Amino acid sequence: MKDTAITVYIDNNKNLMNEFRWLYNSWLASGSWMMSKIVAFHHPAISYDDMPKDNDIDYIPLVPLTERDPSWRDYPFINSVWFMTTPEAAILTDYRYALRTDCDTFLTPYFPLLKPRLAQFGAGMFASNSDVVIRLATIANKWGISPVFNNVGSTFMAIPNRAIQYSQTQFEYCKKLKAEEFKDGYGTWPGWYQGVLTMYAGQLAANTTFDTGMNIGGLDVHCVSRDQMSPQDYHIHAWHTEGYFSKHNWRKGDYKNYDMNKLDKTCIADYCLWIAGACP
């Protein structure tokens, strides 16, 4: 019995379509296919001929929020939150667990062992600036939220009903933050910045939905790590970085001359390149 749904939203973007193959290839290479299925929501304009063909992938066409609501047109990251709030997301309740993640990620050989009793989140780096930390704490206090965790990552795994509940709260907080906190401008990274609106909302929603009933770690592991994978490294995220491994450098073709046969697949950064290099 396959008890886990690995779910993503694939926008009509060539980079995301290519990176979805990273997730798919890592699902195969890690052995995760034995205990999970991929439930891939996607832009209806994407041709099935351009995506991996596998009986254990459920493809669900869904027009993104950015094309339904003009107020979100310039913020495509919202699509990867909003899809979990739709009636179509009820398909996830057929499973014991749901992992909500992004296309530019890699499942490791340890992922099949992850069966969280509490909700499991990755760790982010969007709230390292002290001004941002203070502002999020102030908002949490104003909204009646106990700020237990900081830098809550984008990837999470939970019981599907709770995952959907969390996503609905996250989306509501996205709308609230956009209206109340960014009405006068977009802000500047690494300070208060609308570009990571979904992350701010996700942290507030995680503390609202799960409080102390969650763990952080093991998901969204840094792709630039040269460490050996440990049994607590379940999932790797291609962060925005120019270090090795970098999805930006991959897109530029900087790794095309690497000898893939010499990569150490137990090294986190090498594992990312090995998976990416296996994609057609």
What pLDDT, in 10s, does the model give residues 19-30? 999 999 999 999
Which of the four pLDDT bands, split at 50, 70 and 90, describes residue 1?
confident
DSSP states of 34-68: GTEEEEEEE-TTS-GGGS---TTEEEEE---HHHH
| Structure token pair of residue 34 | 């034995």
CA distances (Å), 242 to each of 163, 238, 246, in order?
A: 32, 11, 5
224-231: list long-range contacts, CB under 8 Å, 24+ apart: 224/269, 225/268, 225/269, 226/267, 226/268, 226/269, 227/267, 227/268, 228/266, 228/267, 228/268, 229/108, 229/109, 229/110, 229/266, 229/267, 229/268, 229/271, 230/110, 231/110, 231/113
CA distance 275 to 278: 5
CA distance 208 to 180: 19
**Is 203 within 8 Å of 136 (Cβ atoms)?**
yes
Q: Of 80, 154, 155, which is closest to residue 114 (Cα–Cα)?
A: 155
Q: What percent of the chain has pLDDT over 70?
A: 100
- The predicted pLDDT at position 49 comes to 94
As a residue count, the chain comes to 280
Using the predicted structure, report yes or no on whether residue 133 has a pLDDT greater than 90.
Answer: yes
The one-letter amino acid code at 153 reads: G
CA distance 19 to 17: 5
Domain that holds residue 91: 4-277
CA distance 206 to 100: 13
The one-letter amino acid code at 125 reads: M
pTM for this model (two decimals): 0.96
**Residues 99-131 pLDDT 10s:** 999 999 999 999 999 999 999 999 999 998 999
Which of the four pLDDT bands, split at 50, 70 and 90, describes residue 184?
confident
Using the predicted structure, report yes or no on whether residue 279 has a pLDDT greater than 80.
Answer: no
**Is 238 within 8 Å of 122 (Cβ atoms)?**
no
- CATH (domain of 62): 3.90.550.10
- The predicted pLDDT at position 128 comes to 87
How many domains does the chain fold into? 1
**Residues 201-256 pLDDT 10s:** 999 999 999 999 999 999 999 999 999 999 999 999 999 999 999 999 999 999 98
CA distance 78 to 66: 8
CA distance 137 to 224: 30
Q: Who's near 226: CB < 8 A, 6+ residues apart? A: 267, 268, 269
DSSP states of 217-271: -SSSEETT--SBP-TT--EEE--S-SSSS-HHHHHTTTTTT--GGG--TTBHHHH
CA distance 83 to 66: 11
